[in-house]
Structure 1
């Protein structure tokens, strides 16, 4: 659980060594962009990114998340085109 840790960005190699990660809670941080390839965790099934500063999500962000069953992106100030 990495909630409320003042995290502002995610490196694309951040989770490479956590190949068995099933749940990731990042709510209440300062994340503003989700770069493509940041989540390459095969078994990841729960991803909570609520209450951040996410304005943009890169295309095809979930391509490597075939086991994802729950994602929470609520309370983010998305910029829609």
Structure 2
């Protein structure tokens, strides 16, 4: 929801993302993966529970590097697109 599909991770405007998020949680049943802090108050209002995975930072970084460098054909990857970091 936070990024436009197929755009090399171009972010939606915050207002649009929050509207999509709130629409998603307005239903009877939903599951959301992610920790967008700007949306947590709304989620806490409607959620019946939270699952927190407390994974170490070094392990998370190793997994990130593996996915980024070696698994470019996995679902959700950028495929053959270049990763561009602009500091924003």
Mark the structure with the bigger radius of gyration. 2
Q: TM-score, normalised by structure 2?
A: 0.28
The structure with the greater share of residues assigned to strand is: 1
Q: Which has the higher contact order (CA 8 A, sep 6+)?
A: 1
The structure with the greater share of residues assigned to helix is: 2
Q: TM-score, normalised by structure 1?
A: 0.29
